[in-house]
Structure formats: structure tokens, C-alpha cells
Amino acid sequence: MSFAGKIIIVTGATSGIGRATAEAFGREGGSLVLVGRQETVLAEVAAEVRAAGGHAATVAADLTTVDAPERVVSAALAAFGHIDVLVNAAGVIASGALEATTDEIWDTMMAVNLRAPFRLMRAAAPHLTLRKGAIVNVSSVNGLRSFPGVLAYNVSKAAVDHLTRCAAIEMAPSGVRVNAVNPGVTVTNLHRRSGMDETKYAAFLERSKETHPLGRPGQPDDIAALILFLASDRAGWMTGETIPIDGGRHLTCAR
């Protein structure tokens, strides 16, 4: 799956699934526009992409700000001239059942997980149309199934799934494909950043061996491999799909 000559925007590129995806595109010769909040980490990832044979530009941005989509798109065009692929991998999670979900928690989940990818898709759409490009959104098994204690996160990811389907049918006449991946528990910093300490996180990963039929949590490279496939010509007749990649977690009841 060579991406030589392809220009790929990856958000959330400083950690987890986004970083693994950026590095994987780099190994396939892609030219990356790396988007994240931490300039020093972006520089590290860019160096890794270049060492692997790819090219990289960086954009330090909070994707919830008003001008972020235009800044990202403009940076991609200035660095490489066009856009072939957009990967929306940035995301956050917060715990809270219905009565414990504050307006602030709700608004943050929607702003980062839903509104930010929507706005970047909208900004990139004219340029992706020129290249008959592809969008891959990083959703979650929580978008496909309901799990207790993370209500706002569940809703935000279910909305990402339907955003994917709606955008896919609208952009199909232009030759742009839009798909999403729905990971199960994956070993990243996502849960730690939500406030889970190391002891609880270790117990959470151990429990994941039971809740995922294949007996383990995922690794970022597992998800990156599917993202690359969906972005490639090998998936040229696929659009509007929301694909579980979760060790079979979506096959089970909440437990």
C-alpha cells in the first residue's frame, strides 16, 4: 500500500492511534501533515516519519478553536500543494452516567470528538474532491454499542458514525470515500488523560482480556493497519462503513 505522492492529514498525531497511523503512512512513503497540541512531540513524530522515508509538516493546533480547520488545510496546501487523505484521530473520553454528566463534560465530548472532525471534513472537502480522496474517522466500539458510565462519549462516537455515513453518501458523487474504524479498548494514553491512575488502568487492561473475545486489548498498530487499508486504493469500493476492530467486543453484551 504505497502512499508515495499522497498527502495525508492526521489529527491526534502526537500519541496513540494517531501517532501509530502517522508513522505507518510514513513507512509507506506518504507526506504527512501532523496535527496536535504539543509542538515538541509533533517534532519527534515528524522526525520518525522522515526517518522511515516519508515527509512531514506539523501544525500545532487546538482543533476546537474557530480558525483551526482553515489553519490545518492551509498548512497542508502550503507544504505539499494538495490533500489526498484526512484521518480524524484526535479524541477524548470522560466518565459519567446520565446524572453525573455535566454540561461541561457533554460540551467537551461533542466539541472534540464530533464538532472538530466535522469542521475539518468540511474545510478539506473541496480539496479532497479534486483528488477523489478519502476520509477515515476514528470512532469507537462505544459508537456501535452502549456501555454504562461513559454516556457523553458513547453519544459522541455514535454521532461520528452517522456523520461518516451522511458524508459518505453526499461525497460519493465526487468520488470521495468516507469510512470509520471502531476500536475496542486500545493501549494508549486516552484513559490516563481522563484521570485514570496507573493502578486502575492496569486493572482496566487486565479486565479487557475478559471483555474482548480474542483475549487482549488492542495496540495502536492494529488500528493503524485498518486505517491505511481504508485510505488506500484497495478499499476503492468501500464507503460509509463503520468497521469494528475490537477483538470481538461488539459481539458481546455489556459486562
The count of residues in the chain is: 255
Please, are residues 150 and 225 in contact by the beta-carbon 8 Å criterion? no
Please, are residues 87 and 177 in contact by the beta-carbon 8 Å criterion? no
User: Distance (Å, rounded) from C-alpha 237 to C-alpha 229?
Assistant: 12
Cell of 143: 459508537
* CA dihedral of 145, 88, 151, 140, whole degrees rounded to 10: 20
**Catalytic annotation present for 153:** yes
User: Distance (Å, rounded) from C-alpha 85 to C-alpha 177?
Assistant: 10
- By DSSP bridging, strand 85-88 and strand 7-11 are parallel
Angular region, 85: left φ>0, alpha ψ -120 to 50, beta rest: beta
Q: How many CB atoms lie within 10 A of CB 140?
A: 31
Angle value at C-alpha 70, between 49 and 239, nearest 5 degrees: 70
Q: One of 153, 185, 235, 249 is an active-site residue; which one?
A: 153
Q: Which residues are catalytic?
A: 153
